[in-house]
A and B are shown apart, each in its own frame.
Chain A
Amino acid sequence: MAAFAAWLGAAVIVLSDGRRGLALGLALITVAFTLLAWMGGERIAAVALLFGGAVAVVQRLRTGLDVWRVMPPGSTPRLVLAIGGGLLALWIATSVMTGAGAPLRFAALGVVGLMGSRVLMADIKPAAVLTSLAALALSVAVASGMADTGLGPSPYIAAAVIALGISLIKVQDTNGG
């Protein structure tokens, strides 16, 4: 369920342009990753993720277009991407890759893939980019949990700090900066 929530959060970010939608997506990802880290025994990491993600969500709610704007007109390709990306991540995580930890793999692959694709989209606004970056940072930390040699809570703390920092950055929403 946590992994599914992570994918759902990524999908919402892909489909949203307004701050409410982006904040919702980031919140879902934060909660999902926190749960996955907690269930994996990384308590400190989970707390760090929750804190960093929460601050980023609150900041997102305060800046950007004050609307949801989920699935605006012309977002069919994004919908296809969100669903297709999720299915692909699911297939890789459960069928191609073997061993325990499939939910973690699905969550990490799904969020990384979707957030990377989101940033590459044309006409994306800076708010969406920053939200995607925060989510990407959190997912990188979660993906580090797949390493054979445990890296401890440090990647999670670093990712949380980065997500927090990204959320504090203000970028002008016009071309030319």
Chain B
Amino acid sequence: MPPLALLAPVALPLAAGGVAAALGLAGLKPGRAIVGAGAWGAVLALFLLWLPVRSTQELNLGQLGFGASLDLRLDGAAFAFGLVILVPAAVLLTLQPRSWQEGTVAALGVGAAVLAVEAGGVLLTALAGGTAATLAVIQLDVEDIRAPRPPWGALLAAWLALSWAGAILQVVSGTEVYAAVPVSALTVPVFSLLAAAALMASGLFPWRGWAARLWSRPSLRAAGMAVATLYPLGFYLLVRAYELGDGRYPQPILGVALAWLGELVALGVAVRAQAASTRREYLGEVIPGFGGFALMAIALGTPVGLVAGLVMLATVGLLAACLPLLPDRAGPASVLAIAAAVGLPPGLAFGARVLGLEATFEAGDFLGLIGIAGAATWVISMVAAARAIGLPAGRGHAANETFPRIAMALAALILVAGPALPVILSVFAIPAQAGVMLDAAGSLGGGLVSVNTVQTALPALTLFAPLLLLGAIAYGITGVFRARGQARPPVFPIPGAVAFGRLRDAVRSAAVPEQYRSIVNPRALEMAAAGGRPLLWLAGLAALAFAVNR
């Protein structure tokens, strides 16, 4: 394939968006086919580019002018994240009805997100990621300007922080290209910037993040696209950080801290999920819950952990396509989706979480404690899932946006893909891990039937396949999908919620006491400064002269 073909996964969605815009401006109704075709074309292009070669391909189209060059690179990590972004985006763009404006912005956002993961350097990733974030916010506003959206300031700050990290790498080492940055350039401050960018970009915090809040929107068209395109990007940065650091973060404590943060994120999600009052509210916490576990696994710094995290992200991708297509009424689609999301054996989520927890125990020392905490969190999330099946549906979104059979198929795919975990690892996750952890000890083995780690082996096919069969038989006998929604109390109240709420209200209502307000008078200050007063001007001149001659 000629190197220029690397542009295809980026160019096809962009072109589709352009065509949709042109047709829309001309008064024609472009429909979903065009933008859907663009996204599926990008998926196909990605497969065609990667599978025959399965090694790194690069394309450099020259300097852009702000320190970055248009440098594209397709390696295992880019392929993996490209799929995580493109597949759910393609599904949603194809199925959900959208105006041409929404479709255009969505397609452009997809192109930008793919460029972010195909970028060969930090600055181009920052530009593309920032663009994807801007377009996601615009898309959400096109759909409904009053509904919740991600905090734009945080997204802006995230990509600005990343661009600063890239600038520092350039100044210190002369380059910000992932494959060329010397290990010594990835210092703790630079990594901190990068990690901060990652966490803010994906909203990976113990409190309720933007990915959960989006699920309270009346419509889930733009929300699904925003999660599909933006949410994986933060994780991408953490994965690329391994490449910058030659397979590890600058200090082990950084990985431990991030892993613990991941655990806290997952725990926070689980606690909120078990207190959800509607099924919609519970489903909003599903993807962030996965994100917490994925962060925990990726940050461990071991090949097993990274691979587990990548598989979890693949599951996130499938769920990002499945959940917006779910109808809000109770039914088999919802139950299957919840079962797939919570990690019911022998699903893909189950396998990935088992691997992730295994990775913590293999990492040793205090990281094993994270695994124990993770296991406890998983238990809570199981309880929350069981409870959620019987919850009332919550605020509904338009029926023409929902495709219960497709959603059910996607959920079923997650469940039945469990036995194929070794295949998924071989094709999807291990090449990505090998690309960023070149000489790491403790890589995985086992072929297409089982997953062999350093200390153990998980016979995925031979163990999960019979479980799948048993599950199918159990369903056939009991027919467990008939559930009625009713309000249920939480299993336990969210600790500290009342106190936190009081503190937040106190901070919001804080004001300068009445007797001191005359001291802080911004209006008077503004009038003084902007009144064109010569005295102030002369004082400014004197201050400058003094400062220079000090």
Residues of A within 8 A of B (CB): 120-122
Render B527-550 as a binary contact track against A, CB cut-off 8 A, 1 for contact: 000000010010000000000000
Residues of B within 8 A of A (CB): 534, 537
Residue on B with the closest CB to A119?
B534
- What are the residues of chain A within 8 A of B534 when measuring CB–CB? 120-122
CA distance A120 to B537 in the complex (A): 10
Residue on A with the closest CB to B532?
A120
CA distance A120 to B541 in the complex (A): 14
CA distance A120 to B534 in the complex (A): 6
CA distance A94 to B537 in the complex (A): 27
- What are the residues of chain B within 8 A of A120 when measuring CB–CB? 534, 537
CA distance A120 to B532 in the complex (A): 10
CA distance A121 to B537 in the complex (A): 12
**Min C-beta distance of A14 to chain B, whole Å:** 14
Closest 4 CB pairs of A and B: A120-B534, A120-B537, A121-B534, A122-B534
User: What are 4 A-B pairs at a CB distance below 8 A?
Assistant: A120-B534, A120-B537, A121-B534, A122-B534
Residue on B with the closest CB to A117?
B534
- What are the residues of chain A within 8 A of B537 when measuring CB–CB? 120
CA distance A120 to B540 in the complex (A): 15
- What are the residues of chain B within 8 A of A121 when measuring CB–CB? 534
Residue on B with the closest CB to A121?
B534
CA distance A121 to B534 in the complex (A): 8
CA distance A120 to B539 in the complex (A): 14
CA distance A118 to B534 in the complex (A): 11
Residue on B with the closest CB to A122?
B534
**Min C-beta distance of B542 to chain A, whole Å:** 14
**Min C-beta distance of B257 to chain A, whole Å:** 58
CA distance A177 to B534 in the complex (A): 21
Residue on A with the closest CB to B534?
A120
Residue on A with the closest CB to B538?
A120
**Min C-beta distance of A129 to chain B, whole Å:** 13
**Min C-beta distance of B545 to chain A, whole Å:** 13
CA distance A11 to B534 in the complex (A): 19
**Min C-beta distance of A109 to chain B, whole Å:** 15
**Min C-beta distance of A21 to chain B, whole Å:** 22
Residue on A with the closest CB to B535?
A120
- What are the residues of chain B within 8 A of A122 when measuring CB–CB? 534
**Min C-beta distance of A38 to chain B, whole Å:** 34
